[in-house]
Structure 1
Amino acid sequence: MSIRFTGAAVVAVSLVGLAACTTAAPGTPIPDRVNSTDTPTSGDSPPDELPTNGAPKVENPIDATHFEQNPCDALTPAQASRLNVPPDGQAADTEFGGGCIWRNPDSGGATGISFLSSVRRGLSIAYAEESAGYYRYFKPIDDLEGFPAAIFDTGTDKPTSQCSITVGLSDDLAFQTLTNLSRANIGKTDPCEAGVMATREMLKTIKANS
């Protein structure tokens, strides 16, 4: 059996429609919705050798088990404050793994994370989708706090109000974030600058506690 997920595959339907937060600098992110794509689930055997499809190898993998089980720990209260979201996140688990959203009801913004724990293909999953033509926009990031990542979008040629990012923590584990800019920041801020900012904050916490 296989599923197909595109867009911010990790984020559950409960995340749909959230606008990401405003920040003192750029706005901030939140995961996207779940769609399907022809990629193996935990019921399928992954390739013997990862990465695949041109994805970069994760040179310094970490064990992020704690955050897979407790995704709301990925932002400290101080980090949440810098991103202009509440300190306490709301669990938003998906069929692929644990997730969490921090939403700002005043700005209409939110930032979120979700892990691809049940699909053990790491960043290769994003590169496989890119090879299959599922994305209209795809931009690799060689080094995001020491990890390879990729910005992607299925709906537009250039993100304008939201930005999805996949990060490889090891060759077989990735997490994703999505940024929907706050209402005030749409058209004024690059959502991918905002997405990178929030994802960096999450990576700092995950690295320091893994």
Structure 2
Amino acid sequence: MKRVSVTAAMTAAILVGVTGCSTTSDGTPTTPSTPSSRIPSSAESSAPALPHSGAPKVNNPLPESALPENPCDAFTRDQVEAALGSDAPEGERDDDFATGPMCDWTDSASATIITVFFSTKTGEGLSAVYANTKPQTDFWETLPPIHGFPAVMTSFEEASEASCHVIVGLADHYTVSASVANPRKPHATNCDSAERLADMLVGNLLQRAGR
């Protein structure tokens, strides 16, 4: 089994552990006995309508069909090399998280880890992030819309890796995120990089959707 990076575990804590799924003591998420579904069932009819908890509504949602089947295809090779250098590693996919697939690129030379997460299974999008992550996180910032989509920046600065996460609501029920971690760089620098990657990620998805 491939090692799960601290960045991936922290992202999972933000996107999984705070949306109704449990986590183990080392931050690794566990899958609930009844998986969440994007489409609310009759048993979930009492759940609040989306959006809720102060999350903004996504007025022009992007269909999930715009997402590549493999999150490692979220960026082109040229884009990965622009971020990590010409010797950038290939992305490593992980489907072990209850919210959806993720991919990370770990560059040992620069100590930089880039992570992309497709949170498509919680069914609550940014609402879950506002309801659960916002009260707990060490850092929270509401960003200007990214290509017209609402976005937030968040992190747990006590993490062993200085990581920063930008989460974008592409529809009321799902999000995508881009994260950057590098313990050698200031937190603000990692956040700037994460915001640029999130902008690139959403731009790529819009292009896939023909927008």
Q: TM-score range by the shorter chain?
A: 0.7 to 0.9
CA distance in 1, matches of 2:188, 2:137: 22
CA distance in 2, matches of 1:178, 1:146: 20
Aligned to 2:98: 95
The 8 Å contact of residues 153 and 163 in structure 1, kept in 2 or not, is answered as yes
CA distance in 1, matches of 2:129, 2:188: 25
TM-score, normalised relative to structure 1: 0.74
**Shift of residue 31, structure 1, vs aligned partner:** 7.4
The 8 Å contact of residues 72 and 100 in structure 1, kept in 2 or not, is answered as yes
The reply on whether 1:73 has 2:54 as its aligned counterpart is: no
Aligned to 1:60: 60
Deviations 1:124-162 (A, max 9, x none): 11110156x212221111311221111112345xxx932
Q: Is there any run of 5+ residues in structure 2 with no aligned partner, and where? A: 22-34, 38-42
The reply on whether 1:192 has 2:194 as its aligned counterpart is: no
The reply on whether 1:123 has 2:104 as its aligned counterpart is: no
The 8 Å contact of residues 31 and 114 in structure 1, kept in 2 or not, is answered as no
**Shift of residue 70, structure 1, vs aligned partner:** 1.6
Aligned to 2:84: 84
CA distance in 2, matches of 1:188, 1:178: 12
Q: Which has the larger radius of gyration?
A: 2
The AA in structure 1 aligned to 2:191 is C
Percent identity, please.
23
CA distance in 2, matches of 1:145, 1:32: 26
Which 10-residue stretch deviates more, 121-130 or 87-96?
87-96
Which 10-residue stretch deviates more, 62-71 or 42-51?
42-51
Aligned to 2:109: 106
CA distance in 2, matches of 1:60, 1:80: 28
- Which of 12, 15, 18 matches 1:37? 18
Aligned to 1:171: 172
**Shift of residue 33, structure 1, vs aligned partner:** 4.4
Q: If each structure's helix is expressed as a fraction of its own residues, which one has the higher value?
A: 2
The 8 Å contact of residues 31 and 113 in structure 1, kept in 2 or not, is answered as no
The 8 Å contact of residues 32 and 178 in structure 1, kept in 2 or not, is answered as no
Alignment: residue pair count? 181
Tell me the secondary structure at the aligned position of residue 34 of structure 1: helix
| RCO higher in structure (CA 8 A, sep ≥6) | 1
The AA in structure 2 aligned to 1:146 is G
CA distance in 1, matches of 2:19, 2:105: 30
Tell me the secondary structure at the aligned position of residue 137 of structure 2: coil
TM-score, normalised relative to structure 2: 0.74
- Which of 115, 128, 136 matches 2:138? 136
Q: Is there any run of 5+ residues in structure 1 with no aligned partner, and where? A: 1-11, 19-29
The 8 Å contact of residues 31 and 178 in structure 1, kept in 2 or not, is answered as no
Q: 1:68 and 1:32, CA in 2 relative to 1: closer, same or farther beyond 3 A?
A: farther
The AA in structure 1 aligned to 2:201 is M
Q: 1:66 and 1:87, CA in 2 relative to 1: closer, same or farther beyond 3 A?
A: farther
